[in-house]
Chains A and B, each alone.
Chain A
Amino acid sequence: MTDQPILTLSGISKSFPGVRALNDVSLELYAGQVTALIGENGAGKSTLVKTLTGIYQPDAGDIVVNGQKVTLPTAHSASAAGITAIHQETVLFDELTVAENIHLGHAPRTALGLIDWRKMRSEARLTLDAMAAGIDPDIKLRELGIAKKHLVAVARALSIDARVVIMDEPTAALSQKEIEELYVLIELLKQDGKAILFISHKFDEIYRIADRFTVFRDGEQVGKGMIADTSQNAIVQLMVGRPVEGIFPARKAAIGEVVLEAKGLTHPTEFDDISFAVRKGEILGFYGLVGAGRSEVMQAVFGLTRPSAGTLSLDGVPITPRSPADAVEAGIVYVPEERGKQGVITGEPIFKNVSLPSLGKTSKSGFLRMAEEFALARTYTERLDLRASSLSQNVSTLSGGNQQKVVIAKWLATLPKVIILDEPTKGIDIGSKAAVHDFMAELVAQGLSVIMVSSELPEVLGMSDRIVVMREGRMVDTLDNKGLKPETLVRLAAGIIEEQAA
């Protein structure tokens, strides 16, 4: 193995409207080595992967593969340059056979230019056997579990002779046994001289298989080195190492009695034994890594899914919301994480979005009254400082921050007791973030209870009164937010044992 990197990124920048996703980052990948890419959610890891696989074009910077500068205008050019990615949820084709999946886009041809099925199958079998995968190349991909699908993706990487393999949280959906099998495979890829970029939130994995690491924070590369020479604590420092930036609104604690209480909420596959209570005038933060089950718990509280065990009570009265309508009726509302998909009805004007759950109130004997709807929408959007030319403006023309305000306005109009905000400031610009934070402070000051699911440390630490930390569907701890260190939260969420970190 030489010390020359196979792939070098330098000075890569990428901006989206309102967000600087990557700022002058660099990255080197070495043959036969695993480089772990570490960072909080939103640090720019996914953007980097998309830049490497030809989905995004960087605004500035160079990509050098094997000493040659390349551009990757399409996904196809990325695979031609020898870069392939294995995603958290495998992007292969369920209805095609394993052999077809392995060879899609580069299938062997016969003299007539038709696909040479016999050769394709035998090559696929050879590759799979070399990996000791035990997969029949002739079955449909659909019949395989997620771990086996990963194997097929790896086989594909081998068959296109990829030099760089990106693994984006490959273990997220795997069992412990399957993870072990994946490690063996990664060793195989290393021996084959592939350069591997391994993205994971789990420190035990990183320390198990990575040789090097690179840490991203807020779209910038803040550190890199050899895993063997670096303590977990040092990496955690790099990930969070910044003052809690931005000014969060000061709040007077006027916390009252318990409003919403959950006891032992359990779902067969998503979460287990979750208990929490949120009081009047309190912001309860839920911190954890993506996929820790926080949103799933909230969806159960909101009646979108039904927990198999556990109880909910509101103001001391037991409730069982069977649908979002039930939850809204009871006084619980949910501002979902995916604004565009789950939040706003794009294509409809602002006022219709705001009034939708309150139509019972604004209509009279079954008929809508537009004037009431406009008045309602005006009242609540003005409170949120929504910027729009008129309330008849289509919400799809609003910026992310303003769309979020529309969703919040919609729920405030139902006069809720508890408002659940799932990643309330994800992907919105700094100015709108501050407006949302100010508004949250105002809500609790008025006696509402707020549950805030957030993966952003400064936000969780800056806004919450208490913080529930979740990991892999379970509650790790509930902490009073007094003198909490960001490192503590990261350790709990990532499952780093105290002794190791000390």
Chain B
Amino acid sequence: MNRLMKHREVWLALAIVLVIVLVTLRFSRFAQPANLLTIFNDTSILMMLALGQMAVILTRSIDLSMASNLALTGMIVAMLNAAFPGVPIPALLALSVLIGAALGAFNGVLVWKLDIPPIVVTLGTLTIFRGMVFVISGGAWVNAAQMSPDFIAFQRTVLLGLPVLSWFAIVVAALFYVLMTRTPLGRSLYAIGVNPTASVYTGINVGRTKFMAFVISGAVAGLCGYLWISRYVIASTEVAGGYELTIIAACVIGGVSIAGGIGSVGGVLLGAIFLGVINNALPVINISPFWQMAISGTAILLAVVLNARGERSRGRIILKSAETA
């Protein structure tokens, strides 16, 4: 199965290269390193969010509230910055992760202790969190003029040739890689997705593991709340409206199985980058943004079909000779 996974990732990487080559034929500057780095930076937030979402989807759950969590955390941090410009950025960063994690923990407790299906829980909190944005802001915006210069400049600072935002994506991806492949929690996330019943019999606390997944996705959403607001330099009630679907799309394109238990950090990163490349490429070659949605949708369906085919070939080997071969 590992080899199949790799095949899928290779296939996805090739698709990305193909899109870049095709666009470059029409617009030669597209493939220049500077532009590719820009695309990477543009996609950073999506990559992080999709990784958080993957942790949840692996456990046969889904987190629809990520975008609302992001908007609420972003609004809180932005209002705090507007009111107390002196609060240092690292403190704001830590705060946004904490708020996000707390909101995720709220989802997680409902899933764990009350045993409500995750799709229902997060559909509820999607609306609640979004509603809270209205409540705390009174519907008003926090705009660039109200934000402190540090607040805006932090993620744009270039370190070793890359903006801080890109570095965040790289560090978060590395953390997820370690989490997924090198910790007992990561192993449990996969195990309960593949076979929840056997996981219970093995002594894994399935409820608590799901709770942890929601805390992780919430923490990532919170972090991205600050990053999003300071990137687009506006905190409004509409921030990231509907973005939860883009996050899930990146996961699915990246080979994460909605049925749980299957998915890799590399695949999800490529899935997010694929969407990022498409989004950047289409305006460049003068394709209407309306087509963008149809193309993203087609990519999702293609990815699902390919995943389904991958699943099907995993049969049982019954022949003795094949088993020992």
Given contacts A348-B194, A359-B184, A368-B182, contact A304 B201 (CB under 8 A): yes
Q: Quick check: B194 and A347 within 8 Å, CB to CB?
A: yes
* CB under 8 Å from chain A, chain B span 284-322: 314-318, 320
* CB under 8 Å from chain A, chain B span 158-202: 178, 181-184, 187, 190-191, 194-195, 197-202
Interface 1/0 per residue, A323-347 and B, CB below 8 Å: 1110110000010100001111111
Q: For A396, give its contact among B191, B314, B320 (CB under 8 Å).
A: B314
For B202, the chain A residues whose CB sits under 8 A away are: 324, 345, 356-357, 410
Tell me the complex Cα distance, A410–B1, Å: 21
Count of chain A residues near B, Cβ 8 A: 38
User: Shortest Cβ distance from A337 into chain B, in angstroms?
Assistant: 10
Given contacts A342-B197, A389-B324, contact A363 B184 (CB under 8 A): yes
Q: Quick check: B198 and A17 within 8 Å, CB to CB?
A: no
Instruction: Let me know if B203 is at the binding interface, CB within 8 A.
Output: yes
* CB under 8 Å from chain B, chain A span 284-342: 302, 304, 323-325, 327-328, 334, 336, 341-342
Tell me the complex Cα distance, A341–B201, Å: 10
Q: For B317, give its contact among A323, A356, A367, A397 (CB under 8 Å).
A: A397
Residue in B199, B203, B262 with the greatest tally of chain A CB atoms within 10 Å? B203
Q: For B187, give its contact among A304, A328, A352, A398 (CB under 8 Å).
A: A352
User: Shortest Cβ distance from A212 into chain B, in angstroms?
Assistant: 38
Given contacts A323-B203, A396-B316, contact A368 B187 (CB under 8 A): yes
Given contacts A324-B201, A325-B203, contact A348 B324 (CB under 8 A): no
Q: For A394, give its contact among B1, B187, B195, B198 (CB under 8 Å).
A: B1
Q: Which residue of B lies closest to A356 (CB)?
A: B202
Instruction: Let me know if B325 is at the binding interface, CB within 8 A.
Output: yes
Tell me the complex Cα distance, A326–B244, Å: 38
Q: Which residue of B lies closest to A327 (CB)?
A: B203
For B203, the chain A residues whose CB sits under 8 A away are: 323-325, 327-328, 357
For B195, the chain A residues whose CB sits under 8 A away are: 341, 344-347
User: Shortest Cβ distance from B152 into chain A, in angstroms?
Assistant: 37
Interface 1/0 per residue, B257-277 and A, CB below 8 Å: 000011000000000000000
Count of chain B residues near A, Cβ 8 A: 32
Q: Which residue of B lies closest to A359 (CB)?
A: B184
* CB under 8 Å from chain A, chain B span 1-45: 1-2
Given contacts A368-B183, A368-B184, contact A345 B318 (CB under 8 A): no
Instruction: Let me know if A387 is at the binding interface, CB within 8 A.
Output: yes
User: Shortest Cβ distance from B83 into chain A, in angstroms?
Assistant: 38
Q: Quick check: B316 and A341 within 8 Å, CB to CB?
A: no
For B323, the chain A residues whose CB sits under 8 A away are: 387-389, 397-399, 402
Q: Which residue of A lies closest to B200 (CB)?
A: A324
For A352, the chain B residues whose CB sits under 8 A away are: 187, 191
Q: Quick check: B183 and A356 within 8 Å, CB to CB?
A: no
For B199, the chain A residues whose CB sits under 8 A away are: 345
User: Shortest Cβ distance from B268 into chain A, in angstroms?
Assistant: 18
Q: Quick check: A343 and B184 within 8 Å, CB to CB?
A: no
Instruction: Let me know if B127 is at the binding interface, CB within 8 A.
Output: no
For A396, the chain B residues whose CB sits under 8 A away are: 314, 316
* CB under 8 Å from chain B, chain A span 340-398: 341-348, 352, 356-357, 359-360, 363, 366-368, 387-389, 392, 394, 396-398
Q: Quick check: A389 and B325 within 8 Å, CB to CB?
A: yes
Q: For A345, give its contact among B182, B198, B320 (CB under 8 Å).
A: B198
Q: For B194, give its contact among A302, A345, A359 (CB under 8 Å).
A: A345
Tell me the complex Cα distance, A304–B181, Å: 28
User: Shortest Cβ distance from A61 into chain B, in angstroms?
Assistant: 23
Tell me the complex Cα distance, A17–B319, Å: 8
Tell me the complex Cα distance, A17–B320, Å: 10
Given contacts A394-B1, A399-B318, contact A345 B325 (CB under 8 A): no
Tell me the complex Cα distance, A398–B324, Å: 10
User: Shortest Cβ distance from B53 into chain A, in angstroms?
Assistant: 21
Given contacts A347-B194, A356-B191, A394-B1, contact A325 B205 (CB under 8 A): yes
Instruction: Let me know if B204 is at the binding interface, CB within 8 A.
Output: yes
Q: Quick check: B184 and A348 within 8 Å, CB to CB?
A: no
Q: Quick check: A343 and B198 within 8 Å, CB to CB?
A: yes
For B316, the chain A residues whose CB sits under 8 A away are: 396-397
Tell me the complex Cα distance, A352–B262, Å: 15
Q: Quick check: A348 and B190 within 8 Å, CB to CB?
A: yes
Q: List 27 A-B contacts (CB under 8 A).
A: A304-B201, A324-B201, A325-B204, A328-B203, A336-B201, A341-B195, A342-B197, A345-B202, A346-B195, A347-B314, A356-B204, A357-B202, A357-B203, A360-B184, A363-B183, A363-B184, A367-B178, A368-B187, A387-B324, A389-B325, A394-B314, A396-B316, A397-B316, A398-B317, A398-B323, A399-B318, A399-B320
Question: Closest 8 A-B residue pairs measured CB to CB?
Answer: A325-B203, A359-B184, A324-B203, A397-B317, A347-B194, A17-B318, A345-B195, A328-B203
Binding site for B on A (CB under 8 A): 17, 302, 304, 323-325, 327-328, 334, 336, 341-348, 352, 356-357, 359-360, 363, 366-368, 387-389, 392, 394, 396-399, 402, 410
Question: A357-B203, A394-B1, A399-B318 are known contacts; what are 18 more A-B pairs with Cβ within 8 Å?
Answer: A323-B203, A324-B202, A325-B203, A325-B204, A336-B201, A342-B198, A342-B201, A343-B198, A343-B201, A345-B191, A348-B190, A348-B191, A348-B194, A356-B204, A357-B202, A368-B182, A394-B314, A399-B320
